[in-house]
């Protein structure tokens, strides 16, 4: 199990400390500004000119508060981005190590959302919500203390009134997480279905399904709109209740001040503190919204990170291992052995399953695969039914397995050996663009590129279990001969991929 990314790393601890310091400085600046405001109103009420110390105190307090706001927002974004980067890395690492069979069972759109919705929720919570909580931890007690020192009676009544508003806010916020979960589920369903349909939209249109898909999209959108409005109404009500509570608290303080004949300067300073107190409280309402979104995303991310993974790469690179497979599948005894550096044929009922296990793509509890007595091979090239490739240059496609890219001369030589001279003569040569997964190339060309990768990447084991190999029967012998000539790897041909002319060193019994 891979845990969620830890928050307490060196750079994030530094950012959290800086945010805390900003909150403390803001609270101190608030205190100086409040007392300076009282002195200013006292002077104005008496008809005196403002003292230079009062003016400087107000100006410096404002400048410091503004600087703290800028710096805290800046470092808060750094904190959020840092956590999002770490979470993105952890998610991709986990997905890359999932068994292929498990990966195929999950919807591609659902996995894609882990890199959009989950990361956005994490960035907003750690970049905005959590910093607001840290800041409010010091600003709110500081503001309450200043209010008390200005006038204890006004402070007691004001805080009591404001606490009643906060109690109502707490009641309204209680089920916000449930609304987030419902909204997220519907939003995810729409996004996942769109991600899966975009690639085949023209084919669906040929089947006459476009209007049906549009009606379904409209229906899902209407349902999503209702839930989005319900969630927005709940978050807006939190801020509305706070604004109403602040307004009523200010009115109560004015009425109390008129009855107690409190000095106008003290009343003005108290009201200014009340207004400043409302800001962190409003930020806390937004922080709770961010936290609810993150709590839902965290559950999804944690579920993905808790799935079992495969460790596919060992340390003995260049070993050309002897491979042995033993065990039992569906009541059938399994035994397969491939000598080091040999070309062997894998035959039998469970050929595809065993081939994927040898390649390290899957793991089956019923069988054990050993590479020179070890659990893992160093470097395996798997040639499956589908060509795997990233969009980019032909050079990049041919060298995906290389830790260090060879020079163009070596790449060209190997590609020509595997019959790709026509492709190299196309405009651009190695610089020509190749579409994702080799779209636009023939099965023979994608198969040859897979074999080029195995050679240039210096694979120790090459497993071929591909219908493309079967579709190139007239070229199989030449391809295999070139592979054996350029690579010393242990080669395994699945039964469907094996040529009748290939010498079978071993078979599944």
Q: Residue 284: enclosing H or E segment and its boundaries?
A: helix 264-305
CA angle 58/286/167 to nearest 5° reads 90
So what's the pLDDT on residue 71? 92
Buried b (16+ CB within 10 A) or exposed e, 55-92: eebbeebeebbeebeeebbebbbbbbebbbebbbebbe
Domain end among 305, 338, 371: 305
Instruction: Tell me which residue range forms the domain holding 109.
Output: 10-305
Domain end among 274, 305, 336: 305
Q: What's the CA gap between 350 and 507, in Å, rounded? A: 12
What average pLDDT score do residues 18-31 get? 87
Whether the pLDDT of residue 508 is over 50: the answer is no
What average pLDDT score do residues 71-98 get? 89
So what's the pLDDT on residue 314? 56
Whether the pLDDT of residue 134 is over 70: the answer is yes
**Same domain, yes or no, for 126 and 211?**
yes
Domain end among 255, 275, 305: 305
Domain count, the chain: 2
**Residue 506 placed within a domain:** no
pTM: 0.81
341 CB neighbour count, 10 Å cutoff: 15
What average pLDDT score do residues 60-65 get? 90
Question: pLDDT for 86-107, tens place per residue?
Answer: 888 888 888 888 888 887 777 7
Pairwise pLDDT comparison (116 vs 481), residue with the higher score: 481
Of the candidates 80, 86, 81, 122, the residue with the CA atom closest to the CA atom of residue 298: 122
**Same domain, yes or no, for 289 and 329?**
no
Structure tokens that stand for 141 in this block: 């007690």
**Residue 222 placed within a domain:** yes
So what's the pLDDT on residue 1? 45
Q: What is the DSSP letter of 319?
A: -
Q: Looking at residue 192, which CATH number applies to its domain?
A: 1.20.1560.10
CA angle 106/109/113 to nearest 5° reads 105
Of the candidates 405, 349, 423, 356, the residue with the CA atom closest to the CA atom of residue 383: 356
**Same domain, yes or no, for 280 and 359?**
no
User: What are the strands of the beta sheet with 323-329, ordered from one edge?
Assistant: 332-338, 323-329, 367-371
Q: For strands 332-338 and 380-383, give the pairing.
A: unpaired
421, HSE (Cβ side, Cα atoms, 13 Å): 3
Q: Looking at residue 337, which CATH number applies to its domain?
A: 3.40.50.300
Give the E-state strand segments of 347-503 in sequence order.
Answer: 367-371, 380-383, 392-393, 433-434, 461-464, 490-494
**Same domain, yes or no, for 129 and 17?**
yes
CA angle 350/347/312 to nearest 5° reads 60
Whether the pLDDT of residue 3 is over 70: the answer is no
Question: pLDDT for 361-383, tens place per residue?
Answer: 888 888 888 888 887 777 889 99
**Residue 299 placed within a domain:** yes
Of the candidates 33, 44, 69, 74, the residue with the CA atom closest to the CA atom of residue 275: 33
Structure tokens that stand for 146 in this block: 């200043």
374 CB neighbour count, 10 Å cutoff: 14
Which stretch of 293-297, 315-319, 428-432 has the lowest confidence by average pLDDT?
315-319
**Same domain, yes or no, for 175 and 28?**
yes
In terms of residues, how long is the chain? 509
Q: Contact at 8 Å (CB) between 334 and 354? A: yes
Whether the pLDDT of residue 346 is over 50: the answer is yes
**Residue 313 placed within a domain:** no
Q: What's the CA gap between 99 and 443, in Å, rounded? A: 26
Pairwise pLDDT comparison (81 vs 109), residue with the higher score: 81
Four-point Cα dihedral 52, 58, 61, 64, nearest 10: -80
Whether the pLDDT of residue 505 is over 60: the answer is no
**Residue 456 placed within a domain:** yes
Which stretch of 217-231, 301-315, 406-420 has the lowest confidence by average pLDDT?
301-315
Question: pLDDT for 249-261, tens place per residue?
Answer: 989 988 888 888 8
Question: pLDDT for 385-422, tens place per residue?
Answer: 889 888 889 999 999 998 889 999 999 999 999 999 99
Whether the pLDDT of residue 306 is over 80: the answer is yes
In the chain, % of residues over pLDDT 90: 17
**Same domain, yes or no, for 477 and 356?**
yes
Sign of CA dihedral 164, 168, 169, 173: positive
Percentage helix, strand, coil, to 5, in the chain?
70, 10, 25
**Same domain, yes or no, for 45 and 128?**
yes
**Residue 507 placed within a domain:** no
Question: pLDDT for 446-504, tens place per residue?
Answer: 999 999 999 999 898 999 998 888 888 888 889 999 999 998 889 999 875 444 444 44
Three-state DSSP class for residue 165: helix
So what's the pLDDT on residue 413? 93
So what's the pLDDT on residue 483? 92
How far CA 2 is from CA of 125, 303, 308, in Å, comes to: 21, 10, 9
Which residues, in sequence order, are CB contacts of 175 under 8 Å at separation 6+?
234
**Same domain, yes or no, for 296 and 384?**
no
Q: What's the CA gap between 235 and 173, in Å, rounded? A: 8
Structure tokens that stand for 249 in this block: 């608290």
**Same domain, yes or no, for 245 and 342?**
no
**Same domain, yes or no, for 120 and 216?**
yes
So what's the pLDDT on residue 316? 54
Residue with tokens 């469907």: 496
**Same domain, yes or no, for 223 and 327?**
no
So what's the pLDDT on residue 414? 93
**Same domain, yes or no, for 110 and 169?**
yes
- The overall average pLDDT reported for the chain is 85
Cα of 108 vs its chain's centroid, Å: 14
**Residue 311 placed within a domain:** no
Structure tokens that stand for 353 in this block: 């399953």
Q: What's the CA gap between 135 and 141, in Å, rounded? A: 11
So what's the pLDDT on residue 157? 87
So what's the pLDDT on residue 315? 52
End-to-end CA distance of the chain: give it in Å, rounded: 35
93 CB neighbour count, 10 Å cutoff: 12
**Residue 314 placed within a domain:** no
């Amino acid at each position: 199990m891979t845990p969620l990314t830890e928050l307490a790393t060196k750079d994030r601890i530094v950012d959290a400390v800086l945010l805390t310091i900003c909150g403390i400085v803001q609270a101190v600046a608030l205190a100086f500004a409040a007392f300076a405001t009282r002195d200013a109103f006292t002077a104005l009420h008496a008809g005196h000119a403002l003292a230079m110390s009062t003016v400087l105190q107000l100006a410096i307090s404002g400048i410091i508060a503004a600087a703290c706001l800028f710096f805290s927002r800046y470092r808060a974004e750094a904190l959020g981005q840092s956590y999002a980067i770490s979470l993105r890395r952890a998610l991709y690492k986990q997905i890359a190590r999932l068994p292929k069979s498990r990966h195929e069972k999950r919807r591609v759109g659902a996995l894609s959302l882990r890199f959009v919705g989950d990361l956005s929720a994490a960035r907003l919570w750690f970049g905005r919500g959590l910093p607001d909580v840290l800041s409010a931890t010091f600003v709110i007690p500081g503001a309450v203390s200043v209010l008390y020192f200005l006038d204890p009676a006004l402070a007691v009544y004001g805080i009591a009134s404001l606490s009643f508003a906060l109690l109502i806010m707490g009641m309204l916020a209680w089920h916000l997480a449930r609304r987030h979960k419902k909204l997220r589920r519907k939003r995810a369903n729409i996004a996942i279905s769109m991600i899966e349909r975009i690639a085949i939209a023209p084919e669906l249109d040929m089947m006459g399904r476009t209007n049906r898909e549009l009606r379904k999209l409209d229906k899902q959108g209407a349902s999503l709109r209702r839930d989005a409005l319900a969630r927005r109404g709940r978050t807006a009500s939190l801020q509305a209740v706070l604004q109403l509570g602040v307004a009523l608290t200010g009115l109560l303080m004015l009425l109390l001040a008129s009855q107690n004949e409190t000095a106008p300067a003290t009343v003005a300073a108290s009201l200014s503190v009340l207004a400043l107190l409302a800001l962190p409280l409003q930020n806390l309402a937004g922080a709770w919204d961010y936290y609810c979104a993150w709590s839902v995303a965290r559950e999804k991310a944690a579920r993905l990170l808790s799935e079992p993974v495969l460790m596919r790469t060992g340390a003995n690179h260049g070993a050309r291992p002897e491979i042995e497979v033993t065990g039992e599948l569906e009541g059938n005894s399994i035994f397969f052995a491939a000598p080091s550096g040999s070309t062997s044929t894998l035959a039998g009922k469970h050929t595809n399953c065993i081939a994927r296990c040898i390649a390290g793509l899957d793991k089956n509890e019923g069988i054990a695969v050993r590479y020179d007595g070890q659990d893992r091979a160093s470097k395996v090239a798997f040639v499956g039914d589908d060509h795997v490739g990233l969009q980019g240059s032909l050079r990049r496609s041919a060298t995906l397995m290389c830790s260090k890219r060879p020079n163009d001369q070596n790449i060209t030589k190997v590609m020509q050996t595997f019959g790709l001279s026509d492709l190299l003569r196309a405009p651009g040569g190695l610089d020509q663009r190749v579409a994702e997964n080799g779209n636009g190339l023939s099965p023979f060309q994608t198969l040859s590129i897979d074999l080029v990768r195995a050679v240039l990447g210096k694979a120790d084991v090459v497993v071929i279990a591909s219908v493309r190999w079967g579709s190139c029967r007239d070229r199989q012998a030449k391809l295999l001969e070139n592979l054996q000539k350029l690579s010393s790897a242990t080669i395994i041909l699945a039964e469907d991929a094996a040529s009748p002319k290939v010498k079978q060193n071993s078979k599944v019994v």
